[in-house]
Amino acid sequence: MPPGIEVMMADVSCGAHTPSMVKSILAWRKAGEGAAALWDAYSDASDRLQAALQVLCQKHAALEAAARARLEKSPWLRELVRVGRLPFGEWAASGDLGAALELVRESSFTLRRLVREISARSGTQVEPPLQTQLLDYTMEQRGVLMAVVPGAGGGDAVIALVLPSDEPAEGAEEGGPVSADGTRRRVGEAWARWRPEAAAAGGAAPVVCELPVIESRATGGGHNGVMVE
């Protein structure tokens, strides 16, 4: 992942038994009934999301190279802030970087739609309705690029990619460091106060709290980026 785009993860007080979920999904795929076509569509959507993330890495590399050639500081982080501060509907029209970020965002929505269809067809709660509410709520927060259920899915966690979306502090040096701390704080606070529709109707409200996760670093100290496994 290019620098400036950070990972957030939240723990949700609703458990999921991963081995049982995987077993149910595999049984559904083996049984047929349109499973192959839907799985292929999901695989294609996953490939498109990964390709969109790779485009971001390429844009970062191009900006870095151009800045080095001019002996200037890279504008990458400032450009992320510029896009991150915009309403989501204005990302695509804001320039090449905004369009690339919008493609990641829309690709994640497509992937989630297919995950929900797999959930319904297989009878397995990969993205349960409560998680759908939580993910949609997370995606509404300023600076959130995408939010999905990690791993095999279920109701026990969510993961989000966030952008820096705050102006530099007053008096900060021009071209100084930019971080996504403001976005992380806002999203963490939003998770803490989230209450699903079921809770509003008198049901139990799951507790959502941010987990202190950071991106692992490559041996050389750089970013791992998008990895092919």
C-alpha distances in Å from residue 3, one per residue of 60, 79, 205, 224: 8, 12, 35, 10
CB crowding 154-165: b at 16 or more within 10 Å, else e: bbbbbbbbbbbb
What is d(CA 96, CA 110) in angstroms, rounded to the nearest whole number? 21
pLDDT digits (tens, 9 = 90+) for 123-164: 888 999 889 999 999 999 999 999 999 887 888 889 999 998
Amino acid at 172: A
Chain centroid, CA 72 distance in Å = 31
| 3-class DSSP assignment, residue 6 | strand
Q: In what order do the strands lie in the sheet with 144-148?
A: 144-148, 157-162, 6-12, 208-211
The pLDDT tens digits along the chain (229 residues) read 788 899 999 988 776 667 788 888 889 888 877 899 999 999 999 999 999 999 999 999 999 999 999 999 888 988 999 999 999 999 999 999 999 999 999 999 999 999 999 999 988 889 998 899 999 999 999 999 999 998 878 888 899 999 988 765 554 454 556 678 889 999 999 999 998 876 555 556 788 989 887 655 555 555 555 555 5
What is d(CA 193, CA 170) in angstroms, rounded to the nearest whole number? 29
Domains, the chain, in order of start with CATH, read 6-211 (3.30.70.890)
DSSP letter string over 183-199?
HHHHHHHHHHH---HHH
pTM of the model: 0.84
